Amino acid sequence: MVQENKTNYSPNGIAIKQESDILTLSGFDVNDLDEASFRDNFNYFKELLKAKKVKNLIIDIKNLGPGLKYNLSFIDACVSFCNAKCVKVQIINSSHDIDLLLKELDFIKTHTEVRVRHKTQKSPSALVSIGEGAIKFFNDIKSFLGFTGEITSAMIYSVLHPRKIQWKETLYYMEKTGADAVPIVFAVCFLTGAIIAYQGVVQMGRFGLSIFTSDLLGLAMTKELGALMTSMVCIGRAGSAFAAEIGTMQVSEEVDAMETMGLTTSRFLVVPKIIGLACVMPLLTIIADIAGILGGSISAVLKGGLSFPEFFSRTISAITFANVMEGVSKSIIFAILIAGIGCLRGYQADRDAKGVGRAATSSVVSGIFMIVVADGLLTLVFN
């Protein structure tokens, strides 16, 4: 192991000297590393840095020629590693040639940048974080409002010029987000209904009121849960797919291509998705209502000792047409929100592969948030 104030040689001849918390690397003029020795040396260096409390690294590059490529990248790797570990780096004895080369490689610049970034990362004052968060939040709202305006004008244009609506696309999205979602919506709501009815039967059964489970279930499904559960499924299936689709089109420059061709992308990409989803979500909601009541009837009959005819006749007399319409009209608003958020997040996607994934994730997160908030507001309005 390295001892203090002594020069040691790493596996391949690079001299490493340690004085208190200063580590000095030298001997880069001897010969170039190769792939294997690069790895050995670098591992050795990393272990040293981890084992000892090194605060400063001095790299002596006397006589390092521009030809010694592996030595150069070894130094680069060491510097990066030190930056990550907050060790200060100093390069000494560099010649004019090497200076130019390092500048050419953006060596100095990138590494100082890394260090600066690291500093700010280390101590983000609470006020700064709050401020940055607030700015981000308001920018988000700003772009959301701008986007809403754009979509509204595109929708109005489409209503006035129905010939220009992309009907083929709209039908495609109706199939993808509607027909294909029926099984999962049915399954989710069937189980939801069963669980709620089970709780109803158990809790109310203690007072001999299990028959009222049918009222509870019918109203909860039609007024709230049908639309809400359908929304959750559609956020996961449709909203994220919309975000990913538009995000991918951003990456492959298709959105740019459309804009340059003078085609309003909101009209081509967003309107069909909104119309498609707004057409199918009410239908899905009705399916969800039915599935929930069916699921609930199973619980009520098996656990509550009711009979099917009893349960259904009671449920049907409890629900009014207005109750069903409340859920259905909510679902139309939810559909517009889900499709809109998905598309917005797609437009905001960074232009790389990760950006598409992030857009999809964030469309789901903001979608759920928006739906819950909107549901609260709408419930107030309807009652």
Q: Least distance in Å: CB of 65 to another protein?
A: 15
Sorted by sequence, the CB contacts under 8 Å of residue 45 that are 6+ apart come out as 10, 16, 25, 78, 81
Q: Least distance in Å: CB of 104 to another protein?
A: 9
Taking residues 86 to 105 in sequence order and writing x for each that binds another protein by CB under 8 A, - otherwise, the string is --------------------
Sorted by sequence, the CB contacts under 8 Å of residue 379 that are 6+ apart come out as 224
Position among 34, 113, 259, 352 found at the interface with another protein (CB under 8 A): 259
Structure-derived torsion over alpha carbons of residues 347, 350, 351, 352, reported in degrees to the nearest 10: -130
From the list 205-213, 256-264, 278-286, 367-375, the region that binds another protein by CB under 8 A is 256-264
Grouping H, G, I as helix, E, B as strand and the rest as coil, residue 234 is: helix
Question: Is 262 near another protein (CB under 8 A)?
Answer: yes
Q: Least distance in Å: CB of 101 to another protein?
A: 10
Question: Is 156 near another protein (CB under 8 A)?
Answer: no
Beta bridge partners of 22: 19, 56
d(CA 266, CA 92) in angstroms, rounded, equals 57
Q: Least distance in Å: CB of 341 to another protein?
A: 21
d(CA 332, CA 281) in angstroms, rounded, equals 6
Q: Least distance in Å: CB of 253 to another protein?
A: 4
d(CA 348, CA 358) in angstroms, rounded, equals 10
From the list 27-35, 259-267, 286-294, 295-303, the region that binds another protein by CB under 8 A is 259-267
Question: Is 180 near another protein (CB under 8 A)?
Answer: no
d(CA 80, CA 212) in angstroms, rounded, equals 68
Question: Is 257 near another protein (CB under 8 A)?
Answer: yes
Position among 20, 252, 307, 317 found at the interface with another protein (CB under 8 A): 252
Q: Cβ(24)–Cβ(78) under 8 Å? A: no
Question: Is 261 near another protein (CB under 8 A)?
Answer: yes
Q: Least distance in Å: CB of 269 to another protein?
A: 10
Q: Least distance in Å: CB of 251 to another protein?
A: 8
| End-to-end Cα spacing for the chain | 77
d(CA 9, CA 2) in angstroms, rounded, equals 9
Beta carbon nearer to another protein, 130 or 257: 257
Beta carbon nearer to another protein, 179 or 263: 263
Taking residues 221 to 250 in sequence order and writing x for each that binds another protein by CB under 8 A, - otherwise, the string is ----------------------------x-
Question: Is 254 near another protein (CB under 8 A)?
Answer: yes
Beta carbon nearer to another protein, 144 or 172: 172
Beta carbon nearer to another protein, 171 or 219: 171
d(CA 367, CA 228) in angstroms, rounded, equals 12
Question: Is 132 near another protein (CB under 8 A)?
Answer: no
Positive/negative CA dihedral, 360, 287, 171, 265: negative
**CA-wise closest residue to 217 among 282, 292, 288:** 292
Q: Least distance in Å: CB of 339 to another protein?
A: 16
Q: What is the 3-state secondary structure (H, E, C) of 85-147?
A: CCCEEEEECCCHHHHHHHHHCCHHHHHHHHHHHHHHHHCCCHHHHHHHHHHHHHHHHHHHHHH
Beta carbon nearer to another protein, 251 or 368: 251
Position among 191, 258, 298, 332 found at the interface with another protein (CB under 8 A): 258
Question: Is 283 near another protein (CB under 8 A)?
Answer: no
Q: Cβ(32)–Cβ(67) under 8 Å? A: yes
Crossing angle (nearest 10°) for helices 182-205 and 226-234:
140
Question: Is 160 near another protein (CB under 8 A)?
Answer: no
Residues of this chain that interact with another protein (CB under 8 A) are 164, 169, 172, 249, 252-254, 256-263
